[in-house]
Amino acid sequence: MATKIYDTGLVEFFDGTVLELKPIKIKYLREFMDEFQKLKMATSDDEAFVVLTKCASISMKEFKKEFSDPSVLEDNMDVSTLYEILDLTAGIKIDKEKNEEGEVKKQAEESGSSWDNLDLAELEAETFLIGIWKDYEELELSLSMPELLATLNSKRDLEYNEKKFLAAMQGVDLDKQSGKQNEWEKMKAKVFSKGITDNPNDIVALQGVNAQQAGFGIGLGLGYEDMRKK
């Protein structure tokens, strides 16, 4: 039975440091994505690497403060390590085998596209109602995006099941009127598929929390190749 909310990975740096990396807390993710937006202005892969290195250094604020200095981080990693950091901490996936000019920027932007229409403030507001954080800053320092979605998913499931039980006592089948629940599933599918689909039954949506709940999916012994990018 799958029990992980997200994947972790060990990354080794030139100075001998080995860090176990995972999705960064929302506090740092906000700063990461603000920097990531500058990728749109990059006119070459060299300029893209500058932006992505700064993004990776923001991720390092959570794991090793010394590496939050972009120049220090750059001296202690190669391109493969950079890609590992971006993938494990923010879900930005770049294939190092694709070396054509413009590929780095293109792949990074496509991988980060799922954030564009995500109403993070609304998701946080709903999660905050659980009442275990004194303010939103504490919430953002406590949860990564996968953890926020898993927590919110559990909260919504509990609330829905309670409503479903009360409705059943009155002879009402709430499943037939669950349009709002379906919208939530579509939103999760779009996030985990990196904007490719909002269909919860599409295989590319079976990642992260969705894959864990299904017991299989991308990252759980299953890979895929997106032929639409060929």
- What single string gives the DSSP state of each residue in 84-102? HHHHHHH-----TT--STT
Residues 70 and 132 in one domain: no
Boundary-marking domain end, from 60, 93, 111? 111
Give the integer Cα–Cα distance in Å for 129 and 123. 10
Residue of 36, 37, 40, 39 whose CA lies nearest to 56: 36
CB atoms within 10 A of CB 133: 16
Query: Is 187 within a domain?
Result: yes
Pair (132, 186) in one structural domain: yes
State the residue range of the domain holding 50.
9-111
Q: Are the beta carbons of 154 and 5 closer than 8 angstroms?
A: no
**160 and 137 share a domain?**
yes
Whole-angstrom Cα Rg for the chain: 19
Whether 107 and 125 map to the same domain: the answer is: no
Mean pLDDT along residues 36-58: 93
Instruction: Indicate if 76 and 137 belong to the same structural domain.
Output: no
Q: Are residues 45 and 133 in the same domain?
A: no
Of 111, 139, 161, the domain-final residue: 111
Which among 153, 188, 136, 149 has a CA at the least distance from the CA of 27? 136
Q: Please tell me the predicted confidence (pLDDT) of residue 163.
A: 72
Q: Domain for residue 116, yes or no?
A: no
Residues 126 and 201 grouped into a single domain = yes
Same domain, 31 and 90: yes
How many structural domains compose the chain?
A: 2
The pLDDT score that the predictor gives to residue 1 is 42
Look at residue 3 and tell me if it is in a domain: no
Task: Give the whole-angstrom CA distance, residue 149 versus residue 191.
Answer: 10
Instruction: Give the end of a domain, one of 92, 111, 130.
Output: 111
Do both 221 and 148 map to the same domain?
A: yes
Q: What is the pTM of this model?
A: 0.71
Q: Distance (Å, rounded) from C-alpha 91 to C-alpha 216? A: 19
Report residue 162 as tokens: 């309670």
Same domain, 79 and 148: no
Structural domain contains residue 125: yes
Least confident of 15-19, 44-48, 169-173: 169-173
Helix or strand or coil: residue 10?
strand
In a domain, 1, yes or no: no
Terminal Cα-to-Cα distance of the chain (whole angstroms) = 35
φ/ψ of 18, rounded to 5, equals -120, 120
| Per-residue pLDDT reduced to its tens digit, 163-222 | 776 766 766 665 665 555 566 666 666 666 555 666 665 655 556 555 555 544 444 444
Judge whether 4 lies within some domain: no
Per-chain mean pLDDT for the chain: 80
Does residue 102 sit in the same domain as residue 193? no
Q: Strand 9-12 and strand 18-21: pairing?
A: antiparallel
